[in-house]
């Protein structure tokens, strides 16, 4: 695909079809994403892909936790503050990244999609060592973006979601992740269910006016 087409398509998918991504294609995407830059080439990331019965088992146990009211407790909360500073929190409110706003108060659509892991048939879980500097979180973000752009280039839809790492001990169990790794993020990969209301383009949130984030000083 043309780079601009790939970039312009980089929008999240909150409901996938039941079609699985070809295993070799998944491996090729991750292998190519390894070319991402990282501080001093430290490459702090590791990748665990869950599919099939393992993913179904995880989804079932996560749903049970949600239904019994267990609070989300992602690993990053132990490493960094999860509080918003005023600039991003104002953005959440102002540009409609606030969930009730961009979901036109249809929060059930948003919640159902998150609680069922977007019906993703392949989920990439990304880890870094527990004892990591903040740079490794930055590096993991770059690596994630590489995975998403490479996937889109192959006609695959993407869903980065912290909600899929809200119960890290379960992810650790199903993906056989060692205790000394932080379960950082998850990206669902698959094919967009175009008939699902939750994927309607009207739920794509706007961005801030360019001038609010940009300054050129000479």
Ligand X SMILES: Cc1cc2nc3c(=O)[nH]c(=O)nc-3n(C[C@H](O)[C@H](O)[C@H](O)COP(=O)(O)O)c2cc1C
Residue numbers of the site for ligand X (CB under 6 A)? Answer: 11-12, 14, 97, 114, 160-163, 185, 204-205
Nearer to ligand X, 10 or 31 (CB): 10
Nearer to ligand X, 30 or 157 (CB): 157
Yes or no: say if 181 and 46 are a contact pair by the CB < 8 Å rule.
yes
Q: Show the CA angle centred on residue 149, arms to residues 63 and 83, nearest 5°.
A: 50
User: Least distance (Å) from ligand X to the CB of residue 205?
Assistant: 5
Going from the C-alpha of 6 to that of each of 2, 16, 112, 143, 152, the distances in angstroms are: 6, 18, 28, 16, 6
209 vs 218: CA distance, rounded Å: 22
User: Least distance (Å) from ligand X to the CB of residue 142?
Assistant: 12
User: Least distance (Å) from ligand X to the CB of residue 185?
Assistant: 6
82 vs 95: CA distance, rounded Å: 20
Question: Quick count: other Cβ atoms within 10 Å of Cβ 63?
Answer: 13
Nearer to ligand X, 151 or 161 (CB): 161
Contacts for 79-84: CB closer than 8 Å, 24+ residues apart: 79/130, 79/132, 79/137, 79/182, 80/134, 80/137
Nearer to ligand X, 69 or 201 (CB): 201
Nearer to ligand X, 118 or 174 (CB): 118
User: Least distance (Å) from ligand X to the CB of residue 113?
Assistant: 6
190 vs 185: CA distance, rounded Å: 17
Nearer to ligand X, 10 or 23 (CB): 10
User: Least distance (Å) from ligand X to the CB of residue 208?
Assistant: 12
60 vs 63: CA distance, rounded Å: 5
Q: Return the closest-CA partner of residue 91 out of 214, 1, 200, 212.
A: 212
User: Least distance (Å) from ligand X to the CB of residue 109?
Assistant: 10
């Amino acid at each position: 695909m043309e780079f601009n087409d790939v970039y312009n398509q980089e929008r999240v998918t909150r409901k996938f079809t039941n079609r699985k991504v070809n295993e070799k294609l998944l491996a090729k995407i991750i292998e190519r994403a390894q070319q991402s830059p990282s501080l001093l080439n430290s490459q702090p990331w590791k990748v665990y892909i869950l599919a099939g019965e393992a993913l179904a088992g995880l989804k079932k146990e996560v749903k049970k936790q949600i239904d019994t009211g267990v609070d989300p407790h992602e690993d990053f909360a132990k490493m960094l503050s999860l509080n918003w500073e005023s600039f991003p929190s104002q953005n959440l409110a102002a540009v409609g990244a606030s969930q009730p706003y961009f979901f036109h108060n249809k929060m059930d659509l948003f919640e159902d999609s998150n609680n069922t892991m977007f019906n993703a048939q392949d989920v990439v879980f990304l880890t870094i060592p527990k004892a990591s500097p903040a740079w490794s979180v930055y590096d993991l973000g770059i690596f994630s973006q590489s995975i998403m752009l490479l996937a889109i280039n192959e006609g695959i839809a993407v869903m980065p979601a912290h909600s899929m790492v809200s119960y890290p001990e379960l992810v650790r169990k199903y993906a056989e992740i060692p205790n000394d790794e932080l379960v950082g993020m998850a990206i669902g990969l698959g094919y967009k269910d175009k008939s699902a209301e939750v994927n309607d383009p009207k739920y794509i949130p706007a961005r801030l006016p360019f001038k609010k984030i940009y300054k050129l000083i000479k």
